[in-house]
């Protein structure tokens, strides 16, 4: 199978990498104790036992989880997976500074020490292994209703206990899935081949693969990639399809073009710790001025994208169409839905903030779609009173660059897909206090935002086991409204996933979590 992208996706470390480009690929290389069901469509949102024999029932009011490890599962280097590997892998999440260490795994006993000082991280009493019984027991400080989903995410992949406790970079770790990485040059290619030690234990958790090898080629621009996939030189392309090519796909390549719903959004994170967006009115001005209809057009039109004026996409429970940042609306009188930008109000807010005339650089990826959005946002910022410019970076480095506060990124445009279907993925992950790590490439709270009162609401929604589902949802909505008022992020659009495949690719297999599941498609 031949895949193609404009650039590579960064580190091969499954506990650090947070690019969809590789997370989707890692689905066939690594496993956790739990996994997302590998079935088509929405059924893939569910969690199943993976390296664990079964999903355990929570004990102690949801504070204790006991997993029993499957027998006979081997890493791609031939070693059998042990309880020690599981315990070491959970500790490694904190030692390597995984981007989700705080938001996903901070409820584990001992995690607070790990987050403060990785050198003192042991997780003693938090993750307890019993080799004789083949059990791993997790003790949590407070219940977490999403704990099984978090263990299913790639950052909780189980690796050999002797895996180095630093970013592996270009060196792959042995995994347990049907494929293994055999060669990687981030400037040219990535090659996967069959894992000869893989034996099927659960079709739903980790199916066997069809392709004998998967070759991922880098350095092909999106325009050239479209032509190459149409002609069968490659079987699938990662990058968004440029707007000027969508017409020909709809007219001549309908059998090769796939449109699938996906919980994914584009948004503009604004750095709340440096000018001009350390001023709330300046951030609100961007929200009022955001030309969401134009952004829809850049992605491909209303069949593929919709304006988004809320932190929670419509495919996630908790979304609302009500929009305070539409023409003629405000928080006291939100519009029923976003209709148009309010440039006059945005200009007034810029003047009131005292930031008019300041220089602003928009950082975006250099793909056709991202660059079009970035140029449009630059023009909008100029229109409301700033001296704006665009800096385009390779997608392979852009995400880590905008996360690192040392790079002083003021504003950018980024897409974000749900790790699993929950408001927490878009609220706590992107704006939780525990996810801002100054000077780190793994700081997914890109605005550097922290409001302790909002954090308390999100923590309660996440951990209070006594709440009804309705009350939990109400707390997420409360946090969402307060975050939108603070405006560390400007929602832009939500999108459908558009996939272009070659004529020889069959059994197209799309899941909500992994998008195209490479192990389940074939080429012939």
Domains of the chain: 2-195+502-523 (3.40.190.10), 262-497 (3.10.105.10)
pLDDT of the residue at 488: 98
Residues 6+ apart with CB under 8 A from 480: 310, 311, 312, 318, 320, 423, 427
Which residues lie below 8 Å from residue 456, measured CB to CB, with a gap of 6+?
none
Q: What angle do CA 216, 218, 220 make, to 5 degrees?
A: 120
Both tokens of 83, joined, read 């309880």
| 368: helix, strand or coil | helix
From the DSSP assignment, how many helices (H) and strands (E) are in the chain? 15, 21
CA-derived radius of gyration, the chain: 23
> If DSSP codes are grouped into helix, strand and coil, which group holds residue 76?
coil
In the predicted model, is pLDDT for residue 45 greater than 90?
Answer: no
| Angle (CA) 165 94 519, round 5° | 75
Confidence (pLDDT) at 315? 86
Three-state secondary structure call for residue 473: helix
**Residue 82 · residue 207 · CB < 8 Å:** no
Tens digits of residue pLDDT in 248-281: 998 999 999 999 988 889 999 999 999 999 999 9
Q: What is the pLDDT of residue 89?
A: 98
How far is residue 141's CA from residue 505's CA, in Å, rounded to a whole number? Answer: 48
Which of 201, 196, 215, 184 shows the shortest CA–CA distance to 75? 196
Per-residue DSSP letters for 238-257?
-SPPPGGGHHHHHHH-GGGE
Tell me what the pLDDT averaged over the chain comes to.
Answer: 95
Residues 476-494 pLDDT 10s: 999 999 999 999 999 999 9
User: Which range is least confidently modeled, 199-208, 369-378, 416-425?
Assistant: 416-425
Is residue 305 reached through a cis peptide bond, with omega within 30 degrees of 0 on the bond before it? no
- Measured over the CA atoms of residue 241, residue 242, residue 245 and residue 247, the dihedral's sign is positive
Whole-number pLDDT of residue 262: 82
Q: What is the pLDDT of residue 494?
A: 96
pLDDT of residue 442: 85
Q: Which of 515, 505, 524 is nearest to 418 (CA)?
A: 515
3-state secondary structure of 266: strand
CA–CA separation, 422 and 428 (whole Å): 10
Q: Which of 40-44, 213-217, 256-260, 495-499 has the lowest mean pLDDT?
A: 40-44
44 token code pair: 């893939």
Each residue's pLDDT tens digit, 404-425: 999 999 999 999 988 888 999 9
Indicate the pairing of strand 414-417 with strand 257-269. antiparallel
Asked if 102 contacts 430 with a C-beta cutoff of 8 angstroms, the reply is no
For residue 128, the SS3 value is: strand
* Integer Cα distance of 449 and 458 in angstroms: 14
Q: In this predicted structure, what is the pLDDT of residue 468? A: 87
Return the SS3 of 342. Answer: coil
Which tokens go with 178? Answer: 């049907």
Give the residue among 58, 7, 47 at the shortest CA–CA distance from 419: 47
Yes or no: say if 136 and 69 are a contact pair by the CB < 8 Å rule.
yes
- Report the pLDDT value the prediction gives residue 462, as an integer from 0 to 100: 83
Residue 454, phi then psi, degrees to nearest 5: -70, -40
Q: What is the dihedral of CA 313, 488, 423, 329, to 10 degrees?
A: -50
Give ∠ CA 400-403-405 in degrees, rounded to 5.
Answer: 125
Q: Is 477 in a helix, a strand, or coil?
A: helix
pLDDT at 46 over 80: yes
State the Cα–Cα distance between residues 99 and 80, nearest whole angstrom. 28
> Which tops the pLDDT comparison, 302 or 466?
302
Cα–Cα distance for residue pair 435/305, rounded to 1 Å: 28
Task: For 126-142, write each residue's pLDDT tens digit.
Answer: 999 999 999 999 999 99
Copy the structure tokens of residue 82.
């042990």
- The 10s digit of each residue's pLDDT in 91-105 is 999 999 999 999 899
Token readout for 241 is 């399809």
What is the structure's pLDDT at 177?
98
Nearest to 63 by CA among 333, 505, 465: 465
Q: What is the mean pLDDT of residues 300-304?
A: 91
Is pLDDT at 522 greater than 80 in this prediction?
yes
Q: Angle of helix 343-353 relative to helix 280-289, nearest 10 degrees?
A: 170
CA distance 365 to 391: 8
How many of the other CB atoms lie within 10 Å of CB of 344? 12
The Cα 139–Cα 162 span in angstroms is 24
Q: E strands, 395-441, where?
A: 411-412, 414-417
Task: Name the residue among 222, 251, 241 with its Cα closest to residue 497.
Answer: 241
pTM over 0.75: yes
Strands 411-412 and 359-365, bridge-based pairing: parallel
The encoded tokens of residue 84 equal 């020690």
Residue at token pair 């949590």: 140
Tell me which residue of 104, 126, 123, 124 sits closest to 114, measured CA to CA.
Answer: 123
CA distance 125 to 320: 41
Question: Would you state the pLDDT for residue 195?
Answer: 98
């Amino acid at each position: 199978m031949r895949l193609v992208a404009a650039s590579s996706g960064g580190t091969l470390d499954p506990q650090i990498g947070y690019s969809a480009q590789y997370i989707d690929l890692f689905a066939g290389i690594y496993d956790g104790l739990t996994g997302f069901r590998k079935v088509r469509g929405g059924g893939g949102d569910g969690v199943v036992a993976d390296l664990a024999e079964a999903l355990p029932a929570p004990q102690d009011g949801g504070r204790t989880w006991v997993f029993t490890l499957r027998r006979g599962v081997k890493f791609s280097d031939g070693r059998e997976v042990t309880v020690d590997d599981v315990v070491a892998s959970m500790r490694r999440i904190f030692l390597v500074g995984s981007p989700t260490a705080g938001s996903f795994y901070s409820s584990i006993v001992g995690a607070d020490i790990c987050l403060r000082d990785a050198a003192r991280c042991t997780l003693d009493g938090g993750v307890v292994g019993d080799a004789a019984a083949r059990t791993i027991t997790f003790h949590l400080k407070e219940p977490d209703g999403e704990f099984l989903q978090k263990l299913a995410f790639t950052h909780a992949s189980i690796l050999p206990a002797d895996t180095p406790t630093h970013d592996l970079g270009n060196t792959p770790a042995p995994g347990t899935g049907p494929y293994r990485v055999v060669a990687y040059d981030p400037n040219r290619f990535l090659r996967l081949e069959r894992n000869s030690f893989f034996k099927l234990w659960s079709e739903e958790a980790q199916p066997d693969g069809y392709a004998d090898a998967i070759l991922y080629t880098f350095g092909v621009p999106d325009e050239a990639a479209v032509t190459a996939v149409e002609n069968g030189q490659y079987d699938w392309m990662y990058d968004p399809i440029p707007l000027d090519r969508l017409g020909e796909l709809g007219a001549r390549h309908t059998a090769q073009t796939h449109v699938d719903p996906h919980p994914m959004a584009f948004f503009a994170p604004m750095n709340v710790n440096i000018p001009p967006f350390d001023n709330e009115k300046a951030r609100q001005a961007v929200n009022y001025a955001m030309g969401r209809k134009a952004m829809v057009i850049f992605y491909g039109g209303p069949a593929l994208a919709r304006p988004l004026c809320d932190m929670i996409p419509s495919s996630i429970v908790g979304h609302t169409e009500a929009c305070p940042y539409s023409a003629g609306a405000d928080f006291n009188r939100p519009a029923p839905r976003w209709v148009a930008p309010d440039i006059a109000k945005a200009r007034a807010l810029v003047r009131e903030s005292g930031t008019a005339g300041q220089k602003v650089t928009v950082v975006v990826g250099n793909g056709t779609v991202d660059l079009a959005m970035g140029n449009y946002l630059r023009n909008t910022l100029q229109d409301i009173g700033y001296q704006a410019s665009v800096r385009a970076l390779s997608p392979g480095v852009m995400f880590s660059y905008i996360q690192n506060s040392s790079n002083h990124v003021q504003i950018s445009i980024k897409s974000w897909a749900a790790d699993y279907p929950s408001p927490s993925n878009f609220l706590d992950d992107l704006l939780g206090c525990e996810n801002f790590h100054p000077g780190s490439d793994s700081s997914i709270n890109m605005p550097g935002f922290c409001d302790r009162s909002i954090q308390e609401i999100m923590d309660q929604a996440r951990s209070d086991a006594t709440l009804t589902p309705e009350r939990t949802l109400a707390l997420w909505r409360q946090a969402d409204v307060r975050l939108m008022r603070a405006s560390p992020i400007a929602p832009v659009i939500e999108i459908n996933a558009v996939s272009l495949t070659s004529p020889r690719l069959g059994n197209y297999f799309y899941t909500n979590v992994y998008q195209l599941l490479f192990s389940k498609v074939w080429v012939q």
